[in-house]
Chain A
Amino acid sequence: MKREKEMKRKRWQTTILLAVIIVVTYVSIAITEFNVLTGITAIPQAIGWMFSHLLITQESLAKLPSILEKLNETIFMSIAATTTAAAVSIFLGLMGSKTTRVSNVLSVLARFIASFSRNIPVVAWALILLLSFGQNSMTGYLALFVGTVGFLTRAFIESIDEVSGSAVEALTATGATYFQIVNKAVIPQSLPQMISWILFMIETNIRSATLVGILTGTGIGYIFDLYYKTMDYNTVALVTFTIVITVIAIEMASNYIRKVIL
């Protein structure tokens, strides 16, 4: 009896949910005047255009050294932004975590900083920071840094709480000090997970750095924007290709590191 009722309720919920999704989709299409049919039929055409225009030619290959230089700049900026953000996030993570926090006020503050910086998209951060820092690599670095602190702090809080509560209790009971506990129990136990999150953030940041670079006029994003605006699509293709290769390479490297440490 009870189960039948429960199942009926579930089926109703599913139906209602489905109806809501359909209505929301319909309303969004109507409001944005996006014509689904045109959108879908345009896809083959767009692919055709990409194949005919986005070709890497001999000519564009000559620009490879300067592209790689800018690409390097972007990669190193992403890594620097991620690692410096990670250092700050470890501190905020320790403050924010239930098991390792030193005071409630600091814990709330750490969580607030994390959610505030996380919930504003990196692109928005870049635009905001552009106003005060102008178009230079500092702006791009800071935009990535802020977003990364938000994300990593939250990830670290979860890693710490999940992994080390019981050992922290045991070491507290032996009379160990706070820093002994953090250094000898919390960090060793959560480090592999933390490194995994840092690697993930490096991947993500290299992707976002391209976009941020378009706005801040630095790195690979700048080059992309430059050739795009001058309609040199062959070079645009080459730039895109190098970005894709880099992201894949970084992903493979970090997967390998993960396998080794976990």
Chain B
Amino acid sequence: MSLLQVKRLGKSYDLETKVLKDISFDVEAGEFVSIIGPSGAGKSTLLRSINRMVEINEGHVIFDNNDVGSLKKKELRQLRTDIGMIFQHYNLVPRLSVIENVLHGRFGYKTTIQGILGRFTEDEKERAFYLLDKLGIGEHAYKRCDQLSGGQQQRVGIARALIQDPKLVLCDEPIASLDPNTSKIIMDHLQSIVSELNITCIVNLHQVEVAQTYSDRIIGLKAGEIVFDGPTPWLTDDRIHHIYGTETRELITG
């Protein structure tokens, strides 16, 4: 069975507009999937429905044989330990050190008290340093995060996700705030997560070329609906125009 199944998912924040309409797709373990589409298409909402950071209104998300929408609070917490998340703005605690931020990824496995007292095992600490070295920021482990560059902060974010030992990593516009060179470093790291650690990756992107370079498969979202879903080579220029069609026209006339 697939690692992730999204079945007829629907979502609206208010009564008037449906942000997601009848979304269905499966993701196999080890896939690198990009979701592309103009801004406002519903990419972030779709990603957050998978780990239920937003509530699902219609349909189902089945992750690792769990119906995500029907989980109780504690079960949901447990499920989230299997899903790492990476954000456009890194979402670190800026005043805390790099290593502290990385270890935050272990909270899901701990009791409240263990977490508050900062009781981490030697294994966990070793793993944190190992990941930081692997991501090339080992020497910054004791620096405060707000002293790092954007690219370095994003690598802290990746380390925090990986220390969860996740089966799936969700990335919401991970390179949207970074320059092209730094973006390449980050995307290369994400690629090696999939190829070396065999962790599944779903990445929201608005740069089509980047999606084409890195992903096995691309899903095109437009106004809350899937308008393309297939292996990367199938994404022709025509189809790209179809996904972004209205937006480019708006850009020209507006």
Interface window among B28-36, B87-95, B215-223, B242-250: B87-95
A66 interface residue per 8 A CB criterion = no
A37 interface residue per 8 A CB criterion = no
A72 interface residue per 8 A CB criterion = no
In the assembly, what is the distance between CA of A185 and CA of B93, in Å? 6
Decide if A173 touches B107 in the complex (CB within 8 Å).
no
B53 interface residue per 8 A CB criterion = yes
Shortest CB–CB separation between residue A187 and chain B, in angstroms? 10
Shortest CB–CB separation between residue A104 and chain B, in angstroms? 15
Decide if A188 touches B116 in the complex (CB within 8 Å).
no
Decide if A189 touches B115 in the complex (CB within 8 Å).
no
Shortest CB–CB separation between residue B79 and chain A, in angstroms? 8
A171 interface residue per 8 A CB criterion = yes
B81 interface residue per 8 A CB criterion = yes
In the assembly, what is the distance between CA of A91 and CA of B27, in Å? 43
Decide if B83 touches A173 in the complex (CB within 8 Å).
yes
Q: Please, could you name 29 A-B residue pairs with CB atoms under 8 Å apart, sorted by A?
A: A166-B89, A166-B91, A167-B91, A170-B87, A170-B92, A170-B157, A171-B107, A173-B51, A173-B53, A173-B80, A173-B85, A174-B84, A174-B104, A174-B164, A175-B108, A175-B109, A175-B164, A176-B77, A176-B104, A177-B115, A179-B116, A180-B112, A180-B115, A181-B107, A184-B115, A184-B118, A189-B93, A189-B95, A192-B95
A172 interface residue per 8 A CB criterion = yes
In the assembly, what is the distance between CA of A179 and CA of B104, in Å? 13
A69 interface residue per 8 A CB criterion = no
Decide if A175 touches B78 in the complex (CB within 8 Å).
yes
Decide if A175 touches B81 in the complex (CB within 8 Å).
yes
Return the CB mask of B66-103 against A: 1 if under 8 Å, else 0: 00000000001111110111010111111110001000
Shortest CB–CB separation between residue A160 and chain B, in angstroms? 13
8 Å CB contact of B104 from A166, A184, A189, A192: A184
Shortest CB–CB separation between residue B99 and chain A, in angstroms? 13
A169 interface residue per 8 A CB criterion = yes
In the assembly, what is the distance between CA of A173 and CA of B107, in Å? 10
CB closest chain-B residue, reference A182: B116
Per the 8 Å Cβ criterion, residues 161-209 of A in contact with B are 164, 166-167, 169-177, 179-181, 183-185, 188-189, 192
CB closest chain-A residue, reference B88: A166
B105 interface residue per 8 A CB criterion = yes
Decide if A179 touches B112 in the complex (CB within 8 Å).
yes
CB closest chain-B residue, reference A172: B53
Decide if B96 touches A188 in the complex (CB within 8 Å).
yes
Minimum-distance CB pairs A-B, first 4: A175-B108, A176-B107, A170-B91, A175-B80
Count residues on chain B whose CB falls below 8 Å from chain A CBs: 35
In the assembly, what is the distance between CA of A37 and CA of B78, in Å? 75
In the assembly, what is the distance between CA of A184 and CA of B92, in Å? 11
Decide if B80 touches A174 in the complex (CB within 8 Å).
yes
In the assembly, what is the distance between CA of A77 and CA of B115, in Å? 36
In the assembly, what is the distance between CA of A19 and CA of B53, in Å? 53
In the assembly, what is the distance between CA of A175 and CA of B92, in Å? 15
B160 interface residue per 8 A CB criterion = yes
Not counting A164-B93, A172-B80, A184-B107, a sample of 15 additional A-B residue pairs whose C-beta atoms are within 8 angstroms of each other reads A166-B87, A169-B91, A170-B160, A174-B81, A174-B107, A174-B108, A174-B164, A175-B77, A175-B108, A175-B109, A176-B107, A177-B112, A177-B115, A180-B110, A189-B95
What residues of A have a CB within 8 angstroms of the CB of B78 in the complex?
175
What residues of A have a CB within 8 angstroms of the CB of B107 in the complex?
171, 174-177, 180-181, 184
What residues of B have a CB within 8 angstroms of the CB of A174 in the complex?
80-81, 84-85, 104-105, 107-108, 160-161, 164
Shortest CB–CB separation between residue A167 and chain B, in angstroms? 5
8 Å CB contact of A177 from B51, B77, B157: B77
User: With A174-B108, A177-B107, A184-B116 known to touch, is A167 a contact of B93 (CB < 8 Å)?
Assistant: yes
In the assembly, what is the distance between CA of A181 and CA of B109, in Å? 14
8 Å CB contact of B116 from A164, A167, A180: A180
User: With A175-B107, A188-B93, A189-B93 known to touch, is A170 a contact of B85 (CB < 8 Å)?
Assistant: yes
Decide if A176 touches B87 in the complex (CB within 8 Å).
no
CB closest chain-A residue, reference B108: A175
What residues of A have a CB within 8 angstroms of the CB of B79 in the complex?
175
What residues of B have a CB within 8 angstroms of the CB of A166 in the complex?
87, 89-91
CB closest chain-A residue, reference B53: A173
Per the 8 Å Cβ criterion, residues 127-177 of A in contact with B are 164, 166-167, 169-177
